[in-house]
Amino acid sequence: MTIVKLLLPALLLSACGASSVVISGSFPTPNIGKLPLSLAVVYDDTLEEFTYTEYSETGQEEYHIQSGQSHIELFDAILPAMFDRVVRVDAVEEGAGAGVDAIFVPNIEEFQLALPAKTRLDVYEVWIKYNMRLLTAEGDYLADWVLTSYGKTPTETFLGTETAINDAAIVALRDLASTFALSFAQVPEISDWLANR
Amino acid sequence: MNALEFRETGQGKAGGLLLLLLALTAGCTSTTVDEFRQGDTGIENHESVVILGRRQAGNRETSSDFVECVGDRLAQGMDGLSVVPEQEFLDAMFPWFEPRTAPLQPEHLGRLMVEEQVALTMRDFGVRYIIWVDGFTETLNRVGSISCTVAPGGAGCFGYGSWEDDASFNAEIWDVENYNGVGQISTDATGQSFMPAIVIPIPLIARVEANACQRLGDQLKSFVIGG
């Protein structure tokens, strides 16, 4: 009886808690020509530990969406297909010693989630805004640009909200990868830098 | 006593007839297919087709299940075509056929095929035709209600529900060899579904999307083999 008394409040509390969603999926390798560049990439802590919290209409925490690791997996999949050589460094300061042409620092600026219960649409949607930075090997400014990605998944194709959020986020990440891969060399500052090399 | 027995039998017959009527009408789906040909078609044994769903629209998208169903239909039979699975093609062609980057007009294929990797992958798959499928199925006119009760002695439902499904899909056929559109086929299917509940709910579902898939697949196959 004592166990039941102890377990009951715990069960009730757990029923009220926020659900945690760790975004996971696989990403294809881009089928594009490589740029003749050697690149160092820095995943700083804000990206690595990025978590978005979705609140209910009453202000309660509803979902904790951890997508930092999935972004790192995505960049690890696409960067080696885009550049001749890619090395991962822990900080911008390590770039000079890595013998690279440039240092790339991606970051998430904003994450938005739209749930059918709130939008009255038959889709789960994820929208992410990024800030991408490209620096010289010495850490000087080369380019700073914004990218957005969008992913949606229909309500009828899955079993749970967590799966739907994950699927929509993976579509958004795939959208980021395609836009990033095709637009990198067209960012005006990068285009000028490449032309002057 | 005899009269009571007669009434019970009569009610049973009426109920049976009602269910039979519902079952028969539930099977009714009306499907129309329209074909518009812009050029000659034909396919060699070593060539294949790929069916891709359009996913540019905001609050809806062509379901991958429907795309797969149409592909399976094209691949069926003695005259079945070689169909490249959608996801396999999208992954191999990444990032060129994603919702934001995919060509919207057949003329854009020429620009895309300038990319060496794209042309090589297309050649590896042997793709002769790209078929873009755009559309969705929606449920309309939902009426009725079913209530279910659970009691210590048992459980049961009573009521009646009905709805209409409307599937509308359009397929554009692009010739990869000549970078042009060779035709369009559209299909519209509607059907009424019923769910009477007498103790247990009995779903009598109209196979609207399945019929649309079957008719579109068959028409696409004869169009591609065509002449």
Q: What is the 3-state secondary structure (H, E, C) of A17-49?
A: CCEEEECCCCCCCCCCCCEEEEEEEECCHHHHC
**Which residues lie closer than 8 Å to A68 by C-beta, 6 or more apart?**
A47, A48, A49, A50, A51, A108
Contact B94 A122 (CB under 8 A): no
Indicate if the pLDDT at residue A86 is higher than 90.
yes
Chain A nearest C-alpha distance from B100 (Å): 7
Per-residue pLDDT tens over the stretch B75-121: 999 999 999 999 999 999 999 999 999 999 999 999 999 999 999 99
Does the pLDDT of residue A14 top 90, yes or no? Answer: no
Please name the residues in contact with A190: beta carbons below 8 A apart, sequence gap of 6 or more. A134, A142, A143, A184
Q: Among candidates A168, A74, A87, which has minimal Cα distance to A130?
A: A74
> Considering only CB atoms, which chain B residues are within 8 Å of A31?
92-96, 117-118, 121
For residues A68-87, give the mean pLDDT. 96
CA distance B16 to chain A (A): 33
CA-nearest residue of chain B to A121? B59
**Which residues on chain A are in Cβ contact (under 8 Å) with B92?**
28, 31
pLDDT digits (tens, 9 = 90+) for A51-73: 999 998 888 888 999 999 999 99
pLDDT beyond 90 at B72: yes
Distance in Å, alpha carbon of B12 to nearest chain A alpha carbon: 37
Task: Give the minimum alpha-carbon distance from B118 to chain A in angstroms, rounded to a whole number.
Answer: 7
How many other C-beta atoms lie within 10 A of the C-beta of residue A19? 14
Better-scored residue on pLDDT, A130 or A156: A130
pLDDT tens digits, one per residue of B174-206: 999 999 999 999 999 999 999 999 889 888 888
Neighbours of B73 (CB within 10 A): 22
pLDDT above 50: residue A13? no
Query: Residues of A numbered 6-65 whose beta carbons fall under 8 angstroms of chain B's beta carbons: which are they?
Result: 28-33
Q: Do A174 and B98 touch (CB under 8 A)?
A: yes
CA of A181: which chain B residue's CA is closest? B95
Return the residue of A nearest to B93 by Cα. Answer: A31
Indicate the range of B21-25, B40-44, B124-128, B143-147 predicted with least confidence: B21-25
d(CA B131, nearest CA chain A) in Å: 21
Interface of A with B in 74-113 (CB under 8 A): none
The reported pTM is: 0.84
In the predicted structure, residue A11 carries a pLDDT above the cut 80:
no
Q: Which CATH number describes the domain made up of A34-195? A: 3.40.50.10610
Residue of B nearest to A150 (CA): B100
